[in-house]
Amino acid sequence: MRSSDLPQVRSLSLFDDMDDSSFDALMQTAYLQVFPAQLELITEGDPADFLYIVTEGCVELFARSNGRESTMAMVRPVGTFILAAVLKDAVYLMSARTAQRSKVLLIPSENVRDIFQKDEQFARSIVVELANCYRSVVKEHKDLKLRSAVERLANRLIRMHKQQGESGTLTLPFDKRTLASLLGMTPENLSRAFNTLRPYGVDVDGMTIGLNDIKSLETLAKPNVLIDDQLT
């Protein structure tokens, strides 16, 4: 498998410390595939056959139980998902589907575990990646347990705004229904939460959100580095 996407995959912190030979061995059996939007890539409960890496587009991780469904996370380029299941040779805890047309690299699980055993540097990089994943979920969990719906939305907007360069405007990276589910509320409630935030300078125009009074929005949101910061 050869492709112009390889360098960007290689540059992931998960891979950039490993030997060329190991990386090549890992990619030997990998394949890059383009999927249309709304295609279910993996289903929770299935054995973890591949490690997935999103190189273009966007993938939604979600979970189902008892007829309900909830978005757990959104994976944007360049990001991996379900690493833990692959390493443990366990079943997936979450399902995944493309939120839009997406390019995804699939590396057979056995191969990942094999190189993990052989390449010490790769094993160490995996530790860092897993630690980051763990801390991300802990933050999500704190967000849900310690904040109201409106607060979760406000903080998420502030976060997206930062990621997009703090121009005073942001574009939602996925549709509102998915955002609602990610934030743990219904679409109707998200709509109302946006209305609640209007007095705090939040202007909604489709997927474009204007933040015209960040000071006051932050007073309401009370952002917390131990929940909202990607780095800490």
Partner DNA sequence: ACAGAAACTTGATAATTATCAAGGAGACCC
Partner DNA sequence: GGGTCTCCTTGATAATTATCAAGTTTCTGT
Q: Put residue 63 in one of left, alpha, beta given phi > 0 → left and psi -120 to 50 → alpha.
A: beta
Minimum distance, C-beta of residue 56 to DNA, in the bound complex (Å): 17
Query: Which residues pair with residue 203 across a beta bridge?
Result: 210
The sign one gets for the Cα dihedral 9, 15, 18, 23 is negative
Query: According to CB under 8 A, which residues from 79 to 108 bind its own copies?
Result: 83-85, 87-88, 90-91, 93-94
**Measured between alpha carbons, how far is residue 155 from residues 2, 152, 229 in Å?**
40, 5, 10
User: Does 148 interact with DNA (rule: CB under 7 A)?
Assistant: yes
Binding partner of residue 45 among DNA, its own copies, none, CB cut-off 5 to 8 Å per kind: its own copies
Q: Is 147 one of the binding residues for its own copies (CB under 8 A)?
A: yes
Tell me if 183 sits within 8 A of 140, measured CB to CB: no
157 lies in the binding site for its own copies (CB under 8 A)? no
Among 132, 171, 186, 232, which residue interacts with DNA (rule: CB under 7 A)? 186
DSSP annotation of 101 reads S
Angstrom distance (rounded) from CA 224 to CA 109: 36
| Candidate ranges 79-87, 158-166, 172-180, 220-228; the one touching DNA (CB under 7 A) | 172-180
Check residue 171 for interaction with DNA (CB under 7 A). Answer: no
Q: Which does 164 bind (CB under 5 to 8 A by kind): its own copies, DNA, none?
A: none
